[in-house]
Structure 1
Amino acid sequence: MINLLFGLGAALAVILVCSLPHLLGMPLWVGIPLGLLSGGGLFIWLGRKVQQELERIFTQAGELLKKQQFDKAIEVMKEGYRFAPKQFLVKGSIDGQIGVVQYLRKKNEEAEPLLAAASMQHYIAKAMLGILQWKRGEKKKAKETFALALKAGKKESLLYAVYAYVLVEMGERDKAIEVLNQGLGICKGDERLITNRNLLQNGKALKMKVYGEQWYQFLLERPMIRQEAPAFARVSRRALRG
Structure 2
Amino acid sequence: MFNLAISLALCLLTTVVLVNPVGLDLWLASLIALVLFTLCYLLLTRTVMKKVANLMESAQRDLQGGRVDKAVKTLESGYRFANWQFYVKAQINSQIGTLLYLKRDFAKAFEYLQKGFVRHWVGMAMLAICYMKRNQTTKMVETFEKAVAANKKEALLWALYAYCLEKVGDKEKAEQVLEKGLKKVGGDERLSANLEALKEGRRMKMRAFGDLWYQFHLEKPGAVVKEQTRAVMGRRKIVRR
* Structure 1: distance between partners of 2:17 and 2:178: 57
Superposed counterparts of 1:70-81, under 5 Å: 70-81=68-79
SS of the counterpart of 1:86? Answer: coil
CA RMSD of aligned residues (A): 1.2
* Structure 2: distance between partners of 1:117 and 1:34: 38
Question: Corresponding residue for 1:97?
Answer: 95
* Structure 2: distance between partners of 1:33 and 1:198: 57
1:159-218 Cα offsets, whole Å, 9 max, x none, are 100000000101111100100111111111211111111111111111111111111111
1:132-157 Cα offsets, whole Å, 9 max, x none, are 11111111111111111111111111
Structure 2: which 5+ residue stretches go unaligned?
Answer: 226-241
Alignment of 1:55 onto 2:53 = yes
Structure with greater proportional helix content: 2
Question: Corresponding residue for 2:112?
Answer: 114
* Structure 1: distance between partners of 2:88 and 2:186: 33
User: How far does residue 47 in structure 1 lie from its aligned partner after superposition?
Assistant: 0.6
Question: Corresponding residue for 1:231?
Answer: none
* Structure 2: distance between partners of 1:14 and 1:121: 35
Alignment of 1:194 onto 2:198 = no
Superposed counterparts of 1:49-198, under 5 Å: 49-198=47-196
Question: Corresponding residue for 1:232?
Answer: none
User: How far does residue 32 in structure 1 lie from its aligned partner after superposition?
Assistant: 1.1
* Structure 2: distance between partners of 1:189 and 1:86: 40
Question: Corresponding residue for 1:33?
Answer: 31
* Structure 2: distance between partners of 1:162 and 1:24: 61
Number of aligned residue pairs: 224
**Which runs of 4 or more aligned residues in structure 1 lie more than 6 Å from their structure 2 counterparts after TM superposition?**
none
User: How far does residue 16 in structure 1 lie from its aligned partner after superposition?
Assistant: 1.2
Alignment of 1:14 onto 2:14 = yes
1:97-154 Cα offsets, whole Å, 9 max, x none, are 0011111111122111100001222221111111111111111111111111111111
SS of the counterpart of 1:117? Answer: coil
Structure 1: which 5+ residue stretches go unaligned?
Answer: 227-242
Question: Corresponding residue for 2:237?
Answer: none
- The two structures have a TM-score, normalised by structure 2, of 0.90
Amino-acid identity (%): 37
Question: Corresponding residue for 2:214?
Answer: 216
User: How far does residue 93 in structure 1 lie from its aligned partner after superposition?
Assistant: 0.7
* Counterpart amino acid of residue 17 in structure 2: V
User: How far does residue 222 in structure 1 lie from its aligned partner after superposition?
Assistant: 1.0
